[in-house]
């Protein structure tokens, strides 16, 4: 089990020493920060010493999080930001699956028409993520549907 230790002189900064990972002939050290947001204690992984992180960098990141929380800004950990980004930037194939297999998708009147539209026009783009779609892709779909 991970053992966290505070770092002297760096408020809210903790370290965890790796059992297997080595850096400069010694066990690598991972830096974490702890802070409160809306009365809830959060612990956030900052990074490994071998990746260039230090207690000073961790303290600076913590200070920014604490300032943001104090002034009413939304404070999210890096993991929360990544999860949110993945949730909102899915591939078209994932969206198609979620839509057609949802309760709403299974019960709509024009389900077979929508599935045919998917097969005829959108299937070639199924590996693209929403953020990768361009106006060129949309124009191509329009042109193919009018042909």
DSSP string for residues in 2-28 = ---EEETTEEEEEEEEEEEEEETTEEE
Mean pLDDT of 5-18: 93
Q: Which pLDDT does position 78 carry in this prediction?
A: 81
CA distances 147 to 106, 113, 116, 121, 140, Å, are 29, 18, 16, 12, 11
User: Could you tell me the pTM of the whole model?
Assistant: 0.60
Beta bridge partners of 16: 30
The secondary structure of residue 128, as a DSSP letter, is S
pLDDT category, 98, cuts 50, 70, 90?
Answer: confident
Which residue has 């930001």 as its token pair?
81
pLDDT, greater one: 81 or 62 = 62
Residue 26 has pLDDT above 60, yes or no: yes
Which residue has 């930037």 as its token pair?
89
Q: Which pLDDT does position 45 carry in this prediction?
A: 93
Residue 16 has pLDDT above 90, yes or no: yes
Mean pLDDT of 26-43: 92
Q: In what order do the strands lie in the sheet containing 26-37? A: 5-7, 10-23, 26-37, 40-48
Q: Which pLDDT does position 67 carry in this prediction?
A: 92
- Share above pLDDT 70 across residues of the chain, in percent, rounded to a whole number: 98
pLDDT category, 129, cuts 50, 70, 90?
Answer: confident
Residue 58 has pLDDT above 60, yes or no: yes
Q: Which pLDDT does position 140 carry in this prediction?
A: 85
């Amino acid at each position: 089990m991970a053992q966290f230790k505070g770092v002297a002189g760096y408020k809210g900064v903790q370290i965890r020493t790796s059992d297997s990972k080595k850096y400069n002939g010694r066990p690598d050290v991972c830096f974490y920060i702890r802070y409160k947001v809306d009365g809830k204690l959060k612990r956030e992984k900052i990074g490994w010493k071998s990746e260039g992180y230090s207690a000073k960098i961790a303290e600076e990141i913590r200070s920014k999080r604490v300032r943001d929380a104090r002034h009413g800004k939304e404070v999210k950990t890096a993991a929360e930001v990544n999860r949110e980004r993945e949730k909102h930037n899915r591939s078209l194939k994932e969206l198609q699956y979620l839509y057609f297999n949802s309760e709403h998708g299974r019960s709509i009147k024009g389900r077979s028409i929508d599935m045919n539209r998917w097969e005829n026009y959108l299937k070639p783009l199924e590996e693209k993520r929403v953020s990768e779609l361009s106006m060129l892709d949309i124009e191509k779909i329009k042109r193919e549907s009018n042909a």
